[in-house]
Amino acid sequence: MTLDTLEGRVATTVREARDELVELLGRLVACDTTAREASEAPRDEQTLQGLLAERLGALGADVDVWEPGPTGTGNRHVPDDLDFCGRPQLAARLPGGADGRSLLLLGHIDAVSAEPIERWSSDPFVLTRRDGRLYGRGTADMKGGLVAMLAALEALHRCDVTLAGDVIYCAVTDEESSGAGGFAAVARGVHADAGICAEPTDFDAWIACRGSLTPTITIPGRPGHAEMTQPHWREGGAVNAIEKLGLVLDAVRGLREEWRGRADQRHPYLDPGDIVPTIVRGGEWEVTYPADCRLTCEVTYLPGHVGPDGTGRKLEAEIQETIERACAADPWLHEHPPTWVWDGDVVPAEMPADHPLVPIALAAAAECGHRGTVAGFGSWHDGATFIRHAGTPTLCFGPGVTGVAHTIDEWVAEDDLVDAAVAIALATLRWSGTSP
């Protein structure tokens, strides 16, 4: 490393705490905070937030742990029936000593289900050290990032560093399911001049992400006995809704291909939007023509397709009009058009690629031997909420690779965990500066 004396001390302090970092990650992994349905009881969210609150309080932070009220705000992104009882959010403010730039360090505590647990090589809720890797649910996505950010702050504290700007450490729930925790934090007033969300970027700086829409299209049929010859439907005969599904799938494929060639679907860091059939349900009995067939799709869309109202409704209209036009060529569907339900709207966001925090983060990674680049994320992350609703330009930057997120035997490299803590500590120093 080519670091000045202070940065060198901070980096050394982080590296000397390697076993402590691993131990803390093990404690977080042991907390079952896997994503849940809105109606399910809380898991170990309160325990995990308590662990973080205790560590942050020891640094002199002003720690706010709260349970937001029921959502019910009409936000298309957040389920109306979700409540946070037993599942608090956390925001801890470490005050700076002068008027330096403030920094948000953001992460989510929830992880996806570990099922099927029997296919894991070891217990997903017991951190396992093996061949330089740390295995367990959430190690990459993103309890490793939470640990790296906290370790960075602890190293700065142990080196008696007083930053010129405030640092806000924020840990939220529900990123994997709805983003509700991030919205709750923004509503609480959490914001900063810029932010780092420690998702598993493998030391790249993600400055943009796609959003998503989830339509369910119900194709009507007409029930009838499947073993009996049916008259024409205009004479009361049965109509097979499953067979009509082919028209909708053809329209979906055509729209996808059209998007791939359109100028408005180009982005320097993101793939074009996509529409992918993900769930099909149809049929009531094996000898009955199905009454309907339901197709659910996952639609991803670019920041440039967010409408003036801040939603993806304009794109919804394009999708619906395209598929309904294709269906109208079929006489039955012309007279009995499909019906639609749009479930949620995960709105994409981006920050300027030339924002000053971007080269700071990448240079800090380079100091640790990682050649990160400016990039985008094909899915979504909580940073988008802070960009759009809190005025906080937030990039993703952290340990681990997305390819192991959500998988069986999820892992993060132990060296990368430590390097990320060093890089975040250096980036914090360089962003906020120090105060005498």
Q: What is the rounded distance in angstroms from the CA atom of residue 26 to the CA atom of residue 347?
A: 33
Helix axes 18-29, 45-58, angle to 10 degrees: 150
Domains of the chain: 5-209+348-432 (3.40.630.10), 211-346 (3.30.70.360)
In angstroms, the CA 252 to CA 142 distance is: 33
Is residue 71 scored above 70 in pLDDT? no
Burial 216-226 (b: 16+ CB within 10 A, else e): bbbbbbbbbee
**Given 32, 110, 316, 350, the catalytic residue:** 110
Residues 110-153: pLDDT tens digits? Answer: 999 999 999 999 999 999 999 999 999 999 999 999 999 999 99
Per-residue pLDDT, 35? 86
Distance CA 399, CA 383 (A): 16
State whether residue 65 is helix, strand or coil: strand
Alpha helices in 312-408 (DSSP H): 313-327, 331-335, 357-367, 383-389
pLDDT digits (tens, 9 = 90+) for 36-69: 877 788 999 999 999 999 999 999 999 999 999 8
pLDDT tops 70 at residue 2: no
- What is the structure's pLDDT at 275? 97
Model confidence over 378-409: pLDDT tens digits? Answer: 999 999 999 999 999 999 999 999 999 999 99
Q: At what angle do helices 414-432 and 18-29 cross, to 10 degrees?
A: 100
- Please state, in angstroms and as integers, the Cα–Cα distance from residue 411 to each residue in 14, 264, 400, following that order: 21, 37, 8
**What does the pLDDT look like over 85-102, one tens digit per residue?**
999 999 999 999 888 999
**What was the pLDDT predicted at 1?**
45
| pLDDT band for position 72 (cuts 50, 70, 90) | low
Average pLDDT over residues 349-373: 97
175 is catalytic: yes
14/25 Cα distance (integer angstroms): 15
**Catalytic, out of 44, 154, 175, 410:** 175
Res. 292: pLDDT tops 50: yes
**How sure is the predictor about 328, in pLDDT bands with cuts at 50, 70 and 90?**
very high
| Pair of tokens at residue 305 | 């397709």
- Told to judge if 110 belongs to the known catalytic residues of this protein, a careful annotator would answer yes
Residues of the chain with pLDDT > 70, as a percent, come to 98
pLDDT at position 36 is: 81
CA dist 33 → 24, 142, 299, 377 (Å): 15, 11, 27, 23
Is residue 390 packed enough to be buried (19+ CB in 10 Å), middle (13-18) or exposed (0-12)?
Answer: buried
For 3, 272, 342, the CA distances from 256, given in Å and listed in that order, are: 49, 9, 18
How large is the average pLDDT for residues 251-277? Answer: 97
Whole-number pLDDT of residue 344: 83
